[in-house]
Chains A and B, each alone.
Chain A
Amino acid sequence: MRNRLVIVFSATIGLLAPVPVIAHHTGSTLLSETTVTLKGVVKTWLWSNPHCLLTLEVKGADGQVVQWVAEAQAPNSIYPAGYRPNSFKPGDQVTVTVNPVTNGRPYGRIASVVLADGSKLGGEGRGRGAAAQ
């Protein structure tokens, strides 16, 4: 019985485990492997092809406000991870983890988002179609 429970539990976890992301477009030459966590205020959220864009105003330790632009994949790729056209509105307080671009400018690829109410949006979606093949 115990073994059966373990198998069922493992299988369930297997189903829940995120599927590896197959990224596209702005390629790996641009992005750092490291992540940066930004706490800021949403300025705009563009739900669009080829990529969605979240513009944030982030106050640094020196009190200066820096505008960051964080990209996500296309709507059909991020929809399964919980993103929607109305996920953000101007003035929302959010925490965004990004892989920044390597040239040091305030741009990056969204890894994950925590909304003001504490709910989390995943990184990228599973992409089109079925998983675990």
Chain B
Amino acid sequence: MVRVLMLMVGLLSALVFPVNAFAQNSPTTWPDPVPDRRPVAEKDKKPAPRRTIAGMWGSRWGNQAKGVQLRPNDGSPENELPYTPYGRQLYQAHRPVEGLDAVPPAQTNDPRLSCEPLGFPRYNHYDLGVQIFQDEYKVAILYHYDNRWRFIWTDGRSFPKLLDGGVDIDGQFREQRFFGYSVGRWVDDYTLEVQTVGTLPEDRVWLDNTGRPISDKARITETFRRLDHDTLEWSETIDDPEIYTRPWQAMKIPMTLQDPRTDVLSRYCSPYETDAYNKAYGDSASGK
């Protein structure tokens, strides 16, 4: 009888105080500054919490250097994008340092390499690692790369109407922004769908590292699906009639929940440091 009681107490404790995956380290330690937790094994998966995507998330697919995750710029016919004539012309004017048409760094015109903000959705395509917070009104995504952040409004507000050079919000003209204007709604308890418009024009931002273009006519749809406690599937579809003849899916990345105590390494684009790098290496290596 005592044994049965002890077993019941044990089971109850396990239910009331579930094991914290990050509790094995002393709370006084500093975890490694690089979020590097691997996907959780099937047997260890726990149910997803309802209506939350908060947490620190990382993925090995984060660095989409060769082009967006689902359509790398590798010359294969299946990864060729459905360019409009204008879109193709823009792509051919870009001189990226990655991908099929890469040039040496000294010849590039990638705005990233002069430390311009990447704009949206390119932040989703470069060194993607994030901390997400949320409250009853919004989701805040803090991108590790260059310490940038954006809001997704989830309080039921209206969706901005895309205009030439900006957006209409409740009858008022508002300017274009690097992250545009994002509004989300919960499709079900585990799926947040987000639409974004009002981003910067094609002469300011690129879509990815390989020089693919995106314009300010784009509407980007993201879906955040909480597959289980430790996995968040982040999908993105590009609808930009100025550049592409039809919508296409750019990424579908399983993000893994990371140790929330991680104090990440600095990953800024500093003009000073970039200049020092080019003087010490980049220019000479490029043959400049």
Contact = CB atoms under 8 A, between A and B. Distances in A.
Nearest to A74: B267
Contacts, number: 149
A80 interface: yes
A22 B65 contact: yes
B35 interface: yes
A75 B266 contact: yes
A118 interface: no
Interface string B97-130: 1110011110000000000000000000011110
Dominant secondary structure at the B interface: loop
Contact of B256 (A22, A75, A77, A129): A129
Nearest to A104: B287
B33 A49 contact: no
Contacts of B126: 24
Interface string B153-171: 0000000000000000000
Interface string A24-57: 1111111000000000000000101111010100
B60 A133 contact: yes
Interface of A: 19, 22-30, 46, 48-51, 53, 55, 69, 71, 74-77, 79-80, 101, 103, 105, 107, 125-133
A55 to B, nearest CB: 8
B261 to A, nearest CB: 16
B264 interface: yes
Nearest to B66: A22
A25 B276 CA distance: 15
A128 B128 CA distance: 8
B39 A50 contact: no
Interface residues of B, number: 54
Contacts of B35: 128-129
Contacts of B182: none
Contacts of A74: 267
Contacts of B285: 26, 30, 71, 101, 103, 105, 107
Contact of A24 (B59, B63, B266): B63
Contacts of A30: 104-105, 285-286
Nearest to B96: A27
Contact of B281 (A28, A107, A128): A107
Contact of A130 (B37, B64, B265): B37
A76 B268 contact: no
28 contacts: A22-B63, A25-B65, A25-B98, A26-B97, A26-B281, A26-B282, A27-B98, A27-B105, A28-B102, A29-B104, A46-B276, A46-B280, A50-B274, A50-B277, A51-B277, A69-B284, A76-B127, A76-B267, A79-B34, A107-B285, A127-B60, A127-B63, A128-B62, A129-B37, A129-B61, A129-B128, A132-B38, A133-B254
B266 A27 contact: no
B187 to A, nearest CB: 24
A80 B34 contact: yes
A27 B95 CA distance: 12
B104 A130 contact: no
A104 B60 CA distance: 33
A75 B61 CA distance: 18
B36 interface: yes
B273 A129 contact: no
Given A50-B274, A107-B281, A128-B127, A27 B60 contact: no
B92 interface: no
A76 B34 contact: yes
